[in-house]
Chain A
Amino acid sequence: MRIGVVTFPGTLDDRDAMRAVRLAGAEPVSLWHADKDLKKVDAVVLPGGFSFGDYLRCGAIAALAPIMEKVIDAANGGLPVLGICNGFQVLVESHLLPGGLIRNEHQHFICRDQKLIVENNQTAWTNLFEVGQEITIPLKNGEGGYIADEETLKRLEGEGLIVFRYSEVNPNGSINNIAGLSNERGNVVGLMPHPEHAVEPGFGPDTPVAMRSGVDGLQFFKSVINMVVNA
């Protein structure tokens, strides 16, 4: 099982994402924004950061990168794609997911361990979670406020495409507490919080059991491995 991780100029979390892939039991494959080659990977992660300096709009220029032509084609063909933070913004700007992300309502960059409720476990990246399960993974963004027009929102809610909602605190003013979405097919998932930062005991969020012992993020990567291996 090979999982590609795309690096754009300004990407920050590609190394952590590759490490998460490895800890979950798959082989991470580095993909470069200027290439048009997905190197025969079985899934793709678009990691967080500030691709192209967040110029124009977050993720807008990355969405036009050569590698994204291939990612968009493959995603439309069913390849599992996970967009984390800036990667979520790239998915939205690529029209693989609907809506948009705007500056946090309180206008500050936020960095915290964030509780989420899993709303949909029928996706490539969430099939090892239970619906209603509460998980905790880090959140760190300045432009994470999810918005969509009323019609889109009705469709997202009606078709169960909201995958995660913020629990207890809405950290950025996202509409309906939306933290993550999927497409209809369930192969493309995007979210603002960072599963790749909660994959190894000693380096994750605090839990009632022990400090920094949270590894809820690992299940994202194990889910996609589970799906591809059992396909």
Chain B
Amino acid sequence: MPKADLLDPAGKAVANALQRKGHNTVSNVRIGKRIELHYLSTPTDQDIAEAKQIAADFLSNGVIEDVVSVTVEN
């Protein structure tokens, strides 16, 4: 997700459109990314640790974004 205190232009444009459509109880919109890593077999604890590292080092830029969560799904 973009860091909360940074301008999120896409989120702001969507928020403005929602305001125009009368959704007045929505106060703000922020748009992030979902990134899926697919594994050949069920990921091990080490895979997950590596995935967290990849998320922090490469998939996100810590200056402008936060990694919200790294989870295993089927």
Which residues of A are interface residues toward B (Cβ below 8 A)?
52-53, 55-56, 61, 64-66
Contact = CB atoms under 8 A, between A and B. Distances in A.
B20 A56 contact: no
Nearest to B13: A55
10 contacts: A52-B17, A53-B10, A53-B13, A55-B9, A55-B14, A56-B14, A56-B31, A64-B17, A64-B20, A65-B20
B8 to A, nearest CB: 10
Nearest to A10: B13
Contacts, number: 22
Given A53-B9, A53-B13, A55-B9, 8 more contacts: A52-B13, A53-B10, A55-B10, A55-B13, A56-B13, A56-B14, A56-B31, A64-B21
Judged by DSSP, the binding face of B is: helix
A53 B14 CA distance: 11
B2 to A, nearest CB: 13
B14 A61 contact: yes
A142 to B, nearest CB: 16
Nearest to B14: A56
Contacts of A56: 10, 13-14, 31
Contacts of B20: 64-66
Contacts of B10: 53, 55-56
A61 B17 CA distance: 6
Which are the 3 A-B pairs with shortest beta-carbon distances?
Answer: A55-B10, A55-B13, A64-B17
A53 B7 CA distance: 15
